[in-house]
Structures are given as structure tokens and as C-alpha cells.
Amino acid sequence: MTKICCIGAGYVGGPTMAMIAKKCPDVQVTVVDINEKRIAAWQSDELPIYEPGLDEVVKETLGRNLFFSSDVDQGIRDADIIFVSVNTPTKTFGEGAGYASDLQYWELCARRIKEVSTSDKIIVEKSTLPVRTAEAMERVLHAGDNPVHFEVLSNPEFLAEGTAMADLEHPDRVLIGGHNTATGQQALQTLVEIYATWIPRERVLTANLWSAELSKLTANAFLAQRVSSINAISALCEATEADVGEVARAIGTDSRIGPKFLHASIGFGGSCFKKDILNLVYLCESYGLQEPADYWRQVVIMNEYQEARFVKTMLHNMFNTIAGKRIAIFGFAFKADTGDTRESPAINVCRALAAEHAQIVVSDPQAMENAKLDLPELADQIEFEADPYRAAEGAHAVAILTDWTLYKGLDYQRIYDSMSQPAFLFDGRNMLDHQALFEIGFEVYSIGKGLKTHLK
């Protein structure tokens, strides 16, 4: 029986391993983590992350061929294949601070693997890493006269939160990079066989290690760039009375451009886009490539501009003062169907509103706990209210910051009637029926469409 160990029971490691366990009953999968609370949560009815469809898969496989453990060493020792799926956040200190990836958790894992392994192993990079990380890891793994052979592969994860289970079950592609050596190719084939259990072979792409590592950063940079591109156009739309939805539809039907990731918004969030682009910027700079670095940095600058522009628009439309005004925030997660708030635009939007002395009420169906942790410094100015109707009571404005489907189905007449007048609605996700809201009586702003106002 093939034994897999995954180090890191987070947003990537947990769902990915649950899917492998489901699809490959002959493979034993153990997920280990130093965070004992997290491991206990994976074994309980209350999983540590919210992901549609995940509960069912964990229920089906837990104790059959999926195990969670905080005994990292045992997990490593027993495994033939070790996936490393630990966090690689942006460095906050020293050289490359604010840009480069912090590889300390990765390196600690590599050292642990070397320390406790007594048999040959395939090491799979799942975490997003700078290109050529495998080279450094191989040096760590093979330092000294350890007789054990480690073969490093890169198998970046392309799943998106909220749709992780569907993405894992029917991925556009799986990418596996390995060395062009006999042992490298053999290891690569071992991993290809696992994925080929449920993924058509033509979708399992193989590449050299460095291409696989760089492809992950590049994919996220391209996706984020599309969001920043349409957001840049949204600002121009508001200045010219063009409608960003119509522009996106018109360009998206060009098969060379395609319709996805053209939805203008308050900006992209999530643990990947900003971190990966900054990592790419740092890599370009460290290879002396200033113009490519500046090109990609602009995608992040554009995103910050879009968040700031949203708050400025709120302020200017609300008669240039929001001091003391109650503002209801609908949605704090960085996107729908997740409780994750990492790099959520809502964080910066709330900070900027608080700087204008607004009274903020945050509502979100999944992200309230994380939201509370994100803004401890605003305790005086922020309330948390799960029920959106109660959050909106007496508010001068509602701002939609996350595209939760439930916000489409609310009774906006009831919300309007309970608000201070004139009642503003700022749709940061362009997801509501703006004409219907306007007819109820709202002052309605949406990204790339501007303000519909009764106050001429």
C-alpha cells in the first residue's frame, strides 16, 4: 500500500489530501501538523475550514484511509511520498521584507524530513514557492552523508477556495515537475499514476521542476492581472458613462480573451494573489530584471488604488462626511463561499472608514470569527452582527464587500425602510439589481457604473 504523508493541514493540504483519499482507497493518507488544535478540529464534526462539499468527503474517508495526526515525525517516517503544504507567507523582516517568501517553515520541514527518514522518499512541493526553491531544499535534504535518497517534485495546487472540492475533482490540469534524471522521471511517474486514478491523463501535465514552480506564480499573476485590468477600466467607465459590465461582456466574448476573471470589484483578496505577485516582483529584481518587476508590481498598486477609490467614493457621495455615521458592511470574507479573510479588501475598506470616524457594523455568514481577529485595533468603532437586517438598522449606508449569493435574496425594501435617509447602497461586487434598488429609493453606487441618485 502506498503511504502518503502531507505536512500542513491547512486550506490546501486538508482538501487535497481528502480528495486523494477519496479517489484512491488503496493509498493511505496521513495529514500531520504541529498545530494540535487544528488536527483535533479535522477529527471533529466542526472542520477547521469552511469549504462546500468538504465535510462529506472527510466523513467518507476519515479512519478508512485518511488520518490526521500531530505526530509529524511518525508521519514522515512511515511515508513513501511526502507532500509539503506549509504556509509560505510574505517575509515581514530582513532582506526582501514585504516581497520575498518566508521559507522558514518549509526549511524546518526539510530538516525534519532529513532528520527522521530511514528510507528513500519522494518529496512533493505543494506550497507555493519561489522558482528554484527545490534546489535549496535538495541541498538541505542531502547535506552530510545521509544514505537516504530524496527525490523532489513540484506539484503546485491550482484550487480556488470556495470551489476547492470541484477544482480537485475536475481540475483543468494537474502539473507535476521533476528532474530530467532516471530517478526524477520515475518519481514523476509515481505521482502521475496517483492522479490518473481519477483525472484524464491528458490533463496531467509534466514539466521540468523550475517550470512547474514558476507556473504557479505565473498563473496567479495572470489571474490577478485580469482583475486589476478590468478594475482600471472600471474607473475610466465611471468617468465616461461607459458601463464596465457591458465592456467586460463585449471583450470577454473574444475567444482570445475569454469571459472569466473580468468581474470588476473592490479588488482581489486571498492568501495567494498579492503574496505571489510580490514574490514574482522580488524574483525579477533579484535577477536584475527591473522592468518586469515594475510591470507586475503595478497589478498590486492598482488593487490598492481600487480599494481606496471605493472608500473615497463612499465619502464623497455621502456629503464628504461619514463621521459618526453607521455603515453596514455586508460580507467580510475575501470572496463568497469561504470564511477566509486573508488579504480581504474588507480589511482595508474598514480601516479607511474607521479613519473617517464611521461607526462600522460587520455582517458575514462565515467569516465573523476571522473578522474579529483582523481588526482588534478598531474595537471601539466596530460592531459585529450576523443578521444583515439588524446590521442595516439605522445605517446611513450598506456596502457589499463579498459576493455571497444570500445578499441577492434579501428584502431590500425592508432594509431601506429601517435605514437613515437618504439611504446609500454601495455595491462593491456589482451583484445586485441596481435599477430595482434605485426604484425602492436607494442612492445606488456600483463599481464601473457610478451613482444612480435621486438627489439632483
Residue 325, contacted partner among ligand ADP, ligand UDX, none, CB below 5-8 A by kind: none
- On whether the CB atoms of residues 388 and 407 are closer than 8 A, the answer is yes
Using alpha carbons, list the distances in angstroms from residue 127 to 4, 61, 86: 16, 23, 6
Do β-strands 204-208 and 174-178 pair in parallel, antiparallel, or remain unpaired?
A: parallel
Residue 196, contacted partner among ligand UDX, ligand ADP, none, CB below 5-8 A by kind: none
Given the complex with ligand ADP, which of 68 and 412 has the nearer CB atom?
68
Residue 38, contacted partner among ligand UDX, ligand ADP, none, CB below 5-8 A by kind: ligand ADP
DSSP letter (8 states) at residue 337: T
Give the per-residue contact string, 334-363, with ligand UDX (x = CB under 6 A; - = no).
xx----------------------------
CA angle 56, 6, 105 (to 5 degrees): 125
Using the rule CB under 6 A, is 9 a contact of ligand ADP?
yes
**Lookup: cell for 389:** 437586517
- On whether the CB atoms of residues 252 and 258 are closer than 8 A, the answer is yes
- On whether the CB atoms of residues 418 and 447 are closer than 8 A, the answer is no
* Least Å from the CB of residue 107 to ligand ADP: 9
**Lookup: cell for 16:** 487535497
Prior bond to 422 cis, omega within 30?
yes
Which of 31, 27, 32, 33 lies closest to 3, judged by CA?
27
* Residues annotated as catalytic (active site), given as ranges: 272
Given the complex with ligand UDX, which of 28 and 265 has the nearer CB atom?
265
The DSSP string of 55-90 is: HHHHHHHBTTTEEEES-HHHHHHH-SEEEE----PB
Count of residues that bind ligand ADP according to CB under 6 A: 20
- On whether the CB atoms of residues 8 and 87 are closer than 8 A, the answer is yes
Which residues have CB under 8 Å from 84's CB, separation 6+? Answer: 6, 7, 8, 106, 109, 110, 123, 124, 125, 126, 127
* Cα 343 versus chain centre, distance: 8
The single residue among 33, 125, 161, 213 that binds ligand UDX, judged by CB under 6 A, is 161
Given the complex with ligand UDX, which of 262 and 327 has the nearer CB atom?
262
Rounded to an integer, what distance in angstroms lies between the CA atom of residue 335 and that of residue 11? 15
Using the rule CB under 6 A, is 72 a contact of ligand ADP?
yes
Using the rule CB under 6 A, is 27 a contact of ligand ADP?
no
Using the rule CB under 6 A, is 327 a contact of ligand ADP?
no
Give the per-residue contact string, 101-140, with ligand ADP (x = CB under 6 A; - = no).
----x--xx-----------------x-------------
**Which residue has the CB atom at the shortest distance from ligand UDX?**
270
Given the complex with ligand ADP, which of 280 and 415 has the nearer CB atom?
280
Given the complex with ligand UDX, which of 143 and 166 has the nearer CB atom?
166
* Least Å from the CB of residue 12 to ligand UDX: 8
The single residue among 69, 87, 163, 208 that binds ligand ADP, judged by CB under 6 A, is 87
E strands of 319-422, at which residues? 326-330, 359-363, 382-384, 397-400
* Least Å from the CB of residue 219 to ligand UDX: 6
Using the rule CB under 6 A, is 296 a contact of ligand UDX?
no
Using the rule CB under 6 A, is 263 a contact of ligand UDX?
yes
Using the rule CB under 6 A, is 220 a contact of ligand UDX?
yes
The single residue among 5, 7, 159, 425 that binds ligand ADP, judged by CB under 6 A, is 7
Interface residues with ligand UDX (CB under 6 A) are 157-161, 220, 223, 227, 261-263, 265, 268-270, 272-273, 334-335
